[in-house]
């Protein structure tokens, strides 16, 4: 099959995840005169484009969608954590004498990782916040609207209030009101019959983008190079993965919204190589633990119970949040589970929702030497420069991990009886929250790739997007912040691109 690729668009967006979708949405709303094209390496999984796979009700069809997201030649897990819908970095993830990111993974599909994510959307706090972005709180609020964030979708989970009460008694002392234990804001929609649907890039695209006759989405279209002419972004080179044909598409603005590994890869392949490109790579190191709530009774079934099949989340599910603070530099995600993840002793069946999983996330000690590098002599499965991760934990990182273990044990003891002897530290890369590789900054001083509106230094007309733009050390889930920053970038394009007369 062949497709008709345009010779010219006003804005070319590379990547169809939540951040690429945010550019398409804002520009569709604010600049309906523009011709927009979104190029996605992976396949279209479902209708509407970008749908979260958990909203696919047929189990077999959902599994097929996950498998189709796992790249052209998925690497063997070799004992590493391989989540459905993602594929591990085949090699180069750990170098001799370094910690590396053994669980470094990506997704290739329309909607990107937004088709597979957990939908947690907490706001950053204290030093997680980016101090130089104008109107950050307004941008975060707009991002919550685009993602459909709801902090109260699971308020009727039978033990949710009790979980938060116990956590608050143990952890809230000395915290500001906005940093106390609270429900986790989630990008979900609660329906009248009790079902919950998860937001993917489809929600961010919205009808505003889908109804825009000037926006076109091209699945299975690999952008191999950003064109630069006279120092400005001038378009993209696209390989049609269906027939292998190559197309040069001119554009007045280019947005690269791949992920924190493939966005710098594309810039590198395009000869755009600022000193900070790929550097300051950071992951959120993760401690997990599980407990059984003590002194709770099985509630009777009532309104709000899900259908019990497919991807529904039942009324027993709930997610609580222990926010990051500079004094307690961790982000806690506390999830009630409908079944125990480990075998339980005794004859009594646990009450649904009484098994609670705790995940504590730690920020990285940021260093320029933590980086993803690219090899022009070797290629990955897509024919792009091969990646090699350089990554080490510092003494500060290890000290934070020790503190996090103590903190999660304290939280667990407040809730009930631990199911394991000690908390478990997941292998690095497990969070999938890679950041910093195209980070923003206030000055073109070699420590950042783009400015506060995500426009690349010294390459006017080229924007970058995604978690890689975040310059601070964060512990909270980064998607809300990265979508907020994408909104700022899209606004600049809408404001500065001349009116088009077609």
Residue 146: name the closest of 50, 66, 75, 219 by CA: 50
Catalytic residue from among 247, 285, 390, 433? 433
Helices and strands, number each (H, E), in the chain: 8, 21
Q: Is-contact 500 32, C-beta < 8 A?
A: no
Q: How far is CA 20 from CA 24, 25, 148, 500, in A?
A: 6, 9, 16, 21
Nearest to 142 by CA among 453, 481, 471: 481
Active site (annotated) includes residue 433: yes
Run of H or E residues at 267: helix 262-269
- Residues near 217 by beta carbon (within 8 Å), at least 6 away in sequence: 16, 37, 38, 40, 44, 49, 110
Residue 40's nearest CA partner among 255, 260, 271, 273 is 255
Find, among 110, 106, 130, 116, the residue nearest to 265 by Cα: 106
Query: What gap in Å lies between CA 370 and CA 437, rounded to an integer?
Result: 9
End-to-end, the C-alpha distance of the chain in Å comes to 29
Query: CA-CA distance, 2 to 305, in Å (whole number)?
Result: 47
* Dihedral, 262, 267, 273, 275 alpha carbons, nearest 10: -40
Q: What is the dihedral of CA 337, 339, 344, 347, to 10 degrees?
A: 120
Spatial contact of 116 and 69, defined as CB atoms under 8 Å apart: yes
Residues in contact with 263: Cβ distance below 8 Å, sequence separation at least 6, in sequence order:
15, 256, 257, 437, 438, 464, 465, 466, 468
**Left (φ > 0), alpha (ψ -120 to 50) or beta: where does 23 sit?**
alpha
**Residues with active-site annotation:** 433
């Amino acid at each position: 099959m062949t497709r008709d690729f345009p010779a010219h668009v006003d804005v070319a967006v590379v990547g169809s995840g939540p951040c690429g979708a945010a550019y398409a949405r804002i520009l569709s709303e604010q600049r309906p005169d523009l011709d927009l094209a979104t190029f996605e390496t992976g396949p279209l999984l479902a209708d509407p484009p970008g749908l979260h796979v958990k909203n696919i009700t047929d189990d077999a069809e959902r599994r097929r969608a996950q498998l189709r997201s796992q790249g052209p030649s998925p690497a063997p897990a070799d004992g590493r954590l391989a989540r459905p819908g993602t594929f591990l970095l085949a090699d180069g993830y750990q170098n001799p004498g370094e910690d590396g990111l053994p669980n470094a993974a990506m997704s290739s599909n329309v909607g990107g990782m937004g088709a597979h994510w957990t939908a947690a959307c907490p706001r950053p706090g204290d030093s997680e916040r980016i101090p130089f972005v104008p109107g950050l709180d307004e941008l975060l609020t707009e991002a919550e609207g685009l993602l459909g964030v709801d902090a109260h979708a699971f308020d009727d989970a039978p033990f949710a209030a009790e979980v938060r009460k116990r956590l608050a008694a143990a952890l809230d002392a000395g915290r500001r009101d906005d940093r106390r234990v609270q429900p986790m804001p989630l990008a979900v929609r609660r329906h009248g019959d009790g079902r919950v649907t998860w937001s993917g890039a489809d929600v961010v695209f919205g009808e505003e983008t889908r109804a825009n006759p000037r926006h076109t989405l091209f699945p299975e279209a690999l952008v191999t190079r950003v064109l630069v002419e006279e120092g400005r972004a001038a378009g993209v080179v696209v390989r049609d993965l269906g027939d292998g044909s190559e197309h040069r598409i001119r554009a007045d603005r280019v947005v690269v919204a791949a992920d924190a590994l493939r966005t710098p890869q594309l810039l590198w392949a395009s000869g755009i190589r600022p000193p900070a490109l790929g550097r300051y790579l950071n992951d959120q190191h993760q401690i997990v633990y599980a407990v059984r709530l003590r002194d709770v009774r099985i509630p009777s079934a009532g309104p709000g119970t899900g259908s019990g099949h497919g991807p529904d989340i039942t009324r027993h599910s709930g997610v609580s949040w222990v926010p990051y603070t500079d004094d307690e530099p961790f982000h806690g995600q506390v999830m009630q589970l409908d079944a125990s993840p480990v075998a339980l002793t005794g004859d009594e069946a646990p009450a649904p929702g009484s098994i609670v999983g705790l995940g504590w996330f730690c920020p990285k000690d940021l260093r320029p030497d933590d980086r993803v590098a690219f090899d022009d002599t070797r290629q990955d499965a897509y024919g792009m420069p091969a990646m090699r991760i350089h990554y080490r934990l510092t003494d500060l990182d290890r000290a934070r991990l020790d503190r996090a273990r103590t903190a999660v044990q304290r939280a667990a003891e407040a809730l009930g009886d631990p199911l394991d002897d000690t908390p478990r530290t997941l292998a690095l890369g497990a969070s999938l929250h890679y950041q910093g590789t195209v980070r923003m900054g206030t000055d073109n001083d070699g420590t950042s790739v783009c400015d506060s509106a995500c426009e690349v230094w010294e390459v006017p007309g080229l924007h970058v997007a995604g978690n890689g733009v975040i310059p601070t050390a964060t512990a909270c889930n980064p998607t809300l912040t990265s979508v907020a920053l994408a909104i700022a970038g899209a606004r600049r394009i809408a404001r500065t691109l001349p009116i088009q007369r077609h």
